[in-house]
Amino acid sequence: MPRPKLSARALADIRAQVRWYNEQNAIAAGRFLQTVSSQIEQIARFPHRWPIFSGRVRRAMLRPFPYWIYFREDRDQVEVIALVHVRRRPDAWREPNEKGELPD
């Protein structure tokens, strides 16, 4: 299984949420990061488990946390595009992150 690629946007999204959770509760931040890691591993192993959301983009729910992980399969690699809170608009994954970076 090839290692999944994380876009700059996805890395920034994950870091921002870890910081936020860490301000609330360090244990929650650790659980969040572990859950993200585990879900990305599942996405890399079984990308077709999740339906196509838009074009070639799929999304997976990050349970029990209220986030979608947006990703696409490019040839033999899975690229994670963004991590977006479920209460944001469905197309929020297309928007720039806090650093102004757009999904690739």
| Mean pLDDT, residues 15-37 | 97
Q: How many CB atoms lie within 10 A of CB 25?
A: 11
66 contact partners, CB below 8 Å, separation of at least 6: 85, 86, 87
Q: Is the pLDDT of residue 21 over 70?
A: yes
Report d(CA 104, CA 1) in Å as an integer.
22
What CATH number does the domain containing 81 carry?
Answer: 3.30.2310.20
Q: What distance in Å separates the CA atoms of residue 9 and residue 67, rounded to the nearest whole number?
A: 15
For the chain, the average pLDDT equals 88
Taking the model in full, what pTM does it have?
0.86
Q: Structurally, how many domains does the chain consist of?
A: 1
22 burial level (CB within 10 Å; 0-12, 13-18, 19+): middle
- Grade residue 3 by pLDDT with cuts at 50, 70 and 90: confident
Q: Could you tell me if residue 100 is inside a domain?
A: no
Tell whether the model's pLDDT for residue 90 goes beyond 80: no
Residue 101 lies inside a defined structural domain of this protein: no
In a domain, 27, yes or no: yes
- Quote the pLDDT of residue 103: 54
Residue 17 lies in a domain: yes
